[in-house]
Structure 1
């Protein structure tokens, strides 16, 4: 059932078995996993079915340096489905090495292993509509499939790992009907959780406070409460809930909001490959089931250990779009259309605007001088992207020269000083706004540099080509647009030590018996991968845990619980 929070009686107290706060990828996945388990589930969502400016404004906050991090109301959507309404759909599992304690990465190591999470990845793939759980090119296409770079055969640099793409699936639109008909789930739209209220001793949640923008206030007292608000809002709510815990819920050791990570990303260098362009497979492939996927360059885990690298991948990419020297009409057309593209995807097109009219004239000249490729691209984009149910993931251009840049997507080491805190200003509901102080470290840049050096050596050794880049400008190129996208990781990290973590291996807040977090904020490290697929898998694991735990406990006043 889906209804509006404005219909709830003023001052009411709702008493479900499970209350999930936030209906994005995590919240909806958790609710789906609890269907049919004999539990009554309440799913609270701040927004409604479509984006609303007033609701979206609740995300607004401060950024210490906007060159390094976008404003906190960008890259996120406050609506049913959350940010899956605007995501690109890239699905990649974390690697086994990501869960390990690595002595060269301070504060690394998860309290669970890759093996603990792997059973939940196949279902996560299905929920995200990314096909079957298979991320090795030989497994998907067979050993005779077209390699990324035919001549590059190396034990150091791997080219067989795949990234798969969702439709991209808007979880709100995709699962709305299922949520409406589920008898054991109630979804309340327009319901904003403003505070987590603990029992007097602080060892359990007594209730949460809920408000609407229309002035309605009520409470929810659930047997278990799960915060699924995303990597920034989850920390914000915990820090703002100070009635019983003066520093905020789960923050006895000043960890909530710290260790904030995104990804290190940017286009670097010039890669010149040997042989014919036909021997390079840099475009998207479709699996037998119709899923778009793509190969990447990565470093073997044993080599990561030997060279003390952070995890990272590199994709073959076209030159920097903002520079008209590429002489490509399609790229120039994208640059000229940047004002008509959403913020999430236009930010990287805006570099170089200081050129003004002269720069725009050069891009226009490229479009006029390249009419055939530009027209072909527009036709392809209309058929395969605009009109298609499963959309072509991104711009891929025919490469006649075998020259590419490398699009890096790299892990950021967790650092305690990178954090989010509260400001003195409040939003329309009286909740303190966020202040984002995202930081990176020289180790993050140095690791990418060592990876590029390894790739360069292997290319030369195999005769596959050459990679040239300028180490002196690498940091500038990687930090040209600051923290990458909406990958908000680590602000309520998972661990066994309460002094350096917020939740335990079951995503339960340390010391608070019935409070859980379903968010990428619990990830202790960020991996090379986009967080969504692993977030859904971890949430499904949490759903199993909550279901088993609540079915095993008889609520006060009842004789038995039906399994």
Structure 2
């Protein structure tokens, strides 16, 4: 059942077996997986079923460098369904190498290997509505899939790995009926503002066989001044990579540093992904090029990409890296493509989360600067048939379709593309989020974000780009022209990549450098677990949502056996 928390009597103390805090992909997945486990469950969600400005404003905070990181209230949504109400739907699992301890990436390594998540990825794929768990071209398309670059061969790069696309699925809208018809008590507009001090004598056995304290009841407030508590045997924080750290830091803990923060690890090792668009890939010598989407038998859109192999990563001392062929830069009217110019002219109507990457001023070196409106308008007029055809396709396949065409794909007649890359960011202790100045409307301290990248991140991108150029030339299919001196500027042009907030409460075996153990339980609290990308020790190259859901399913199995 779903209830507005404003209807809970003031000062109530709700008692339950399990309290899940946050109804985004992680929290909803966990609740769905446990709804028939015989447990009494309360699911708290800060927002309602629609976006609300006052609730969204609770995410406001500050950033150390606005050029490198967007404001904390962007790229995430405080409502039922969480940021799945916003995401683009790109799904892919982490690679086996992402779980490994790599000597050339300090603080890398998960407390378990890829095999621990393997049983959960297919179920996660279904929940994300991304079709079969088939991420190799030959597995997803037994009858054959169009080659990305015909004639391209490389020992270091593969085009056989796919990304698959969700509808994209809004977890709140898609699974609302299952929660509403269950015995789970879903409370909307319910903001967790921390936990009461540990009950006297309350403790549980920790990972090292010692005794860990237990957190007390969750303190809940609404924006209409209703206040109550939820007392549970077990709690799960599933509030996203930034908000999880904020709640822990704002709650009493050992030494006054915050809950779970005895060794000053909460909020540290903050990662996103390193991404950018650079150079020109000239494939005029290739027999055929296909960089668009292909639908599988299940109707799911799939796309090939260029992936740096694990052996090459180890040999080169580089992090994980993938790249896609991309359309020409939109601000430059010299591309002559009507639909790209129309996008430029429609800039005021494009949501911030997408406009930032679409419209940044060109700086690739030798490229055109931001084009003027008249030149773009001329492109639209000259290319009217092509523009009209694209808009008709977009209306049918994107606007009106339940399973939406994932993104804009334009095929230049001269086969000259820009390169869109997406790379692993290595964990760094000095990249962090902390409590900043000022309080929100509920009296909670606001968040301050100090996201930083490292020289090894630049090395990953620079090395991968150089090897890709060499592979294209060696295959005889084309070349990649770019300015190596521009790499760092290009990979930081958009700053931290979008909504991929990773690693602020990482898992590990050592409490001095991690916040939770391999079961996602807080080292310092025997009854508090974390769900979501906050616990990832490394970022890999993959968008995090699929792994967030897989980890939530794994946690559900652990809680079922434990409780």
Is the 2:286–2:477 Cα contact (8 Å) retained in structure 1? no
CA apart distance, 1:143: 6.7
Structure 2 Cα separation of the partners of residues 463 and 143 of structure 1: 27
Instruction: Report the Cα offset of residue 242 of structure 1.
Output: 2.0
**Change beyond 3 A, Cα 1:96–1:357:** closer
Deviation, 1:514, is 0.5
1:173 and 2:167 are equivalent in the alignment: no
Is 2:397 the partner of 1:384?
A: yes
8 Å Cα contact 2:361-2:370 kept in structure 1? no
Distance 1:96 1:59, change over 3 A: same
- Is the Cα contact below 8 Å between 2:150 and 2:286 reproduced in 1? no
Corresponding residue for 1:522?
535
Determine if contact 2:507/2:537 at 8 Å carries over to the other structure.
Answer: yes
Is 131-140 or 241-250 further displaced after alignment? 241-250
Give 1:244 shift: 5.8
Report what 2:349 is aligned to: 340
Q: TM-score, normalised by structure 2?
A: 0.95
Question: Which stretch shifts more, 328-337 or 496-505?
Answer: 328-337
Tell me the distance in 2 between the aligned counterparts of 1:281 and 1:138: 16
Q: Note if 1:190 corresponds to 2:219.
A: no
Asked if residue 148 in structure 1 is aligned to residue 161 in structure 2, the reply is: no
Number of aligned residue pairs: 548
TM-score, normalization by structure 1: 0.95
Indicate the SS of the match to 2:151: coil
SS in 1 for 2:193: strand
Shift of residue 519, structure 1, vs aligned partner: 1.3
> 1:276: Cα distance to partner?
5.6
Instruction: For 1:541-552, list aligned pairs within 5 A.
Output: 541-550=554-563
Q: In 1, Cα distance between the equivalents of 2:362 and 2:415?
A: 28
**Distance in 2 between residues matched to 1:186 and 1:127, nearest whole Å:** 21
Q: For 1:223, what is the secondary structure of its paired residue?
A: strand
Aligned to 1:264: 274
Q: Which moved more, 1:354-363 or 1:467-476?
A: 354-363
Structure 2 CA distance, aligned partners of 1:33 and 1:307? 41
3-state SS in 2 of match to 1:54: helix
Q: In the superposition, relative to structure 1, how do residues 357 and 297 fare at CA in structure 2: closer, same or farther (>3 Å)?
A: closer
Alpha-carbon distance in 1 for matches of 2:167, 2:216: 40
Do the aligned residues in 1 keep the contact of 2:332 with 2:369 (CA within 8 Å)? no
* Equivalence map 1:79-478=2 (5 Å): 79-142=79-142, 144-183=144-183, 185-199=184-198, 203-242=213-252, 246-275=256-285, 279-352=288-361, 359-478=372-491
Aligned with residue 533 of structure 1, among 538, 543, 546: 546
What is the alpha-carbon distance in structure 2 between the residues aligned to residue 92 and residue 226 of structure 1?
25
Q: Secondary structure at the match of 1:17?
A: strand
Give the match's secondary structure for 1:195.
Answer: strand
Rounded to whole Å, the distance in 2 between the matches of 1:472 and 1:212 is: 51
Aligned residue number for residue 481 of structure 1: 494
Preserved contact between residue 198 and residue 244 of structure 1 (Cα < 8 Å): no
Partners of 1:74 and 1:335 lie apart in 2 by 22
Unaligned runs of 5+ in 2: 202-211
Matched residue of 2:485: which SS?
Answer: helix
Partner of 2:39: 39
Deviations 1:85-109 (A, max 9, x none): 0100000100000000000001000
Name the SS for the 2:119 alignment partner. Answer: helix
